[in-house]
Every structure is written in C-alpha cells, then in structure tokens.
Amino acid sequence: MSEGAGQPLGRVSPREFERFLGGLPFLGTLSASHARLEAGQLVELVLSYEVGASGLADSGRFKLTYMFYSDWGDPQTEDPRGANYLTAAFLPRPGFPGESEATVKRLRVRFDSKGHERPYQKAIIVDAIDGYLRPGDRIHIERGDRSAGGPGTRAQTFAEDAFKLRAYVDVTGTSRLAPVPGDLRIAIVPGLPTQLHVITPRVTGRRTRVPVFARVDDAWGNPCPLTEHLAQFTLLGRDGAALDRREVPWMAAGLSVRTEFSIDDPGDYRVAVDGRADNQRGLSMRVPLRRDKSATCWYSLRPPSTGRFCKSDPPGLDVRQSTMRPWSG
C-alpha cells in the first residue's frame, strides 16, 4: 500500500471560489435594464440572466416567457436595422486561479409565439451551442438591439401595473426545464394625455340627474392619471347658451372625474367639457343629450364580455377598468 493512501485529499478549488459559488442561487437570477416604460414606447430593453450555481451544460437552454395577450412587438433575428431586432450574447465572468474557462462556442436565439405553456406562451429561447457556461457567467439579451441602427422595440401599448417575464432554464441539457425563481416585473404606464373622452347617457328621463364622466387618454387609449387640475363641465341649451357650469378637481391619482346635471324641460342639449390637462391646450369635447318624457337606462360593458342595463351604473367605469386589469397568472 503506497504512502498516503486512504488520506483525505487536500483542497482542489480556491476558497474564494467556494464562497462565490455558495452565494449564487442554484438556478440563477434575472434582471432588466428598465423597471418602468411608457405604453408604446420605442426602447432597447436589455435582459440579463446570470447562470446559477448549477452551471449550464452543453446544449442547455434558457427560456424567457411572457403572456400571450401582450401586443409587444414580436422579436425578429433577420434584419439588424429593423424594429424589434433580437440578439443574445455570452458575457463570461472573470475566472478564479486555476479555473477552466467556459467552452460554449455561441448562443442561438429565437422567438416562438407558442414556445411555452399558456398563459406564458410567448417565448424567447436561447440555446448553448458546443460547450457549457460556468456559474456566474451571463446571457445578455437585447430586445430591440439598436447597434446596427434599428429603432428599438415597441413596448406593449396598453397600461399594466406589472408586465411579467418568467424564466425557465434547462441546466443539464436534457430538455427538462425548471423555473428561475422571481419573475421580472415592468410597469407599463400611460404616456402624455392627448385625447379627452366624455361619457354620459345620450337620453335622460324625468326627475333624473344626469351623470357626466370625463377622462383623458394617451395616444394608445390608456386613461391618464392627472395632477390636480380642474375639469370644467358646461350644460348648453339648443341655442348654445350655458345653462349650468361645474368645475371639478381632477385628483392626482384619479382616472376620471364626475359631475351631475338636472334638466327640467324636454329638448336637445349638449355637454361641453374642458379637460385642462398638463402639456395640452384646449382638450375639450361636446356630446349631445336629449331630455325625453320617459325614463331610460344605458348600457355598460362588464368584463369579461358581459353587459348589464342599470339606471344607476356609472357608464365608462367598467370599460375603463377592462383596459387596465391584467389576466391572472
């Protein structure tokens, strides 16, 4: 028996590497260059995946998914100067003394609109070709890469409190995906106000107070919360004379303002609204209103795709909410 047989082996890796490895999540971490975007904004969005303590084997796969209903521009890999150009790059970390370098030769990236299970159906897929990635190496994804002169990618055009990106990784190259803990969340917020909308029943009956709602939308139809300004409501008679006028403060976090008018005599009227919104001049709108002898109701949409007739239901509220409320998932 040779001398030293059966004795424990000495340290085979640097102590610093062991501490580094112990501080990494096993399946890695995901980060993004932006936490907040305006609806419809053209942007170069950088998404970075740091390989976890598991490493990423030869032919391993990283998949970044998001909801099927999103209208975010579909990524493409054919035209570097076109919109929504998609790239993926390998960024190695500095090595430790005596550590082998990653052997991956290249990354292959593609987009598949049905690349994962619904509701996280749309997928950006990155494959490791001819080699592995070490723990701590990074996969750098640019959605809307502008390096060749492209315009970027157009963000989702409807507002959402948390646009979610959910990642999966196949660390062993066996096509078995595991979720990377922690979804990315990007707030999609309305842009500048450009359109004023007035919502009211077009016909009203006796002894009925007429509710009038106003809201301001951005260029994509998203209701804009406004700072404290006044919305001016004016009830006009047939000859255009002002019969009643109300000024209502537009609350900082509110999406609409509301007031009511009483109409005594049958006839045709108009409601004029001046939004007085930031960065806008003369955001105003007029809608017709008829006072009939009989009572009436109006129709209000209720998600998902159902309706209700109700005299006291505020029109426009449910329509507005249906554009802001995300699918569950």
Strand pairing report for 184-189 and 36-38: parallel
Domain count, the chain: 2
User: Is residue 59 within 8 Å of 176, Cβ to Cβ?
Assistant: no
Does 7 map to a domain? no
Asked if residue 232 and residue 173 are part of one domain, the reply reads no
Strand partners, 128: 107
CA nearest neighbour of 165 among 127, 206, 211, 116:
116
Asked if residue 105 and residue 233 are part of one domain, the reply reads no
Mean pLDDT of the chain: 82
Asked if residue 202 and residue 304 are part of one domain, the reply reads yes
Give the per-residue pLDDT at 290. 62
Last residue of a domain, one of 140, 162, 189: 189
| DSSP code of residue 285 | E
Scan for tokens 């004016």, then name that residue.
Answer: 234
Tell me the mean pLDDT in the region 312-317.
Answer: 39
Q: What is the CATH number of the domain that holds 58?
A: 2.60.40.680
CA nearest neighbour of 231 among 191, 262, 202, 271:
271
Asked if residue 140 and residue 92 are part of one domain, the reply reads yes
**Helix or strand or coil: residue 126?**
strand
- Which bin fits 188, alpha (ψ -120 to 50), beta or left (φ > 0)? beta
Asked if residue 252 and residue 169 are part of one domain, the reply reads no
Q: Say how many CA atoms lie within 13 Å of 122 toward its Cβ.
A: 13
As a whole number of angstroms, the distance between CA 257 and CA 263 comes to 20
Q: pLDDT of 124-152, one tens digit each? A: 999 999 999 999 999 999 999 999 999 99
Asked if residue 104 and residue 219 are part of one domain, the reply reads no
pLDDT higher than 80, residue 280 = no
Asked if residue 124 and residue 39 are part of one domain, the reply reads yes
Last residue of a domain, one of 189, 216, 242: 189
Q: pLDDT of 25-73, one tens digit each? A: 999 999 999 999 999 999 999 999 999 999 999 999 999 999 999 999 9
Asked if residue 135 and residue 240 are part of one domain, the reply reads no
Does 304 map to a domain? yes
DSSP labels for 291-322? Answer: E-SS---EEEEETTTEEEEETTSPTTHHHHHH
As a whole number of angstroms, the distance between CA 235 and CA 262 comes to 10
Q: How far is CA 327 from CA 8, 164, 324, in A?
A: 57, 11, 10
Q: How far is CA 96 from CA 12, 18, 57, 100, 134, in A?
A: 12, 10, 19, 9, 11
pLDDT higher than 70, residue 10 = no
Q: Phi, psi at residue 317, to the nearest 5°?
A: -65, -50
Last residue of a domain, one of 189, 217, 250: 189
Asked if residue 199 and residue 168 are part of one domain, the reply reads no
| DSSP code of residue 327 | P
Asked if residue 118 and residue 50 are part of one domain, the reply reads yes
Q: What is the reported pTM?
A: 0.77
Structure confidence at residue 192 as a pLDDT band (50, 70, 90): confident
The more confidently predicted of residues 211 and 284 is 211
Give the per-residue pLDDT at 323. 39
CA nearest neighbour of 163 among 45, 320, 283:
45
Asked if residue 206 and residue 178 are part of one domain, the reply reads no
Which structural domain, as residue segments, surrounds residue 42?
Answer: 24-189
Of the candidate ranges 14-18, 72-76, 229-233, 294-298, the one whose mean pLDDT is the lowest: 294-298
Q: What angle (nearest 5°) sits at the alpha carbon of residue 72, between those of residues 71 and 76?
A: 120
Q: How far is CA 112 from CA 43, 60, 196, in A?
A: 21, 17, 38
Counting residues of the chain whose pLDDT is more than 90, the rounded percentage is: 50
Give the per-residue pLDDT at 321. 38
Does 13 map to a domain? no
Torsion of CA 6, 7, 13, 14, to 10 degrees: 180
Asked if residue 283 and residue 214 are part of one domain, the reply reads yes
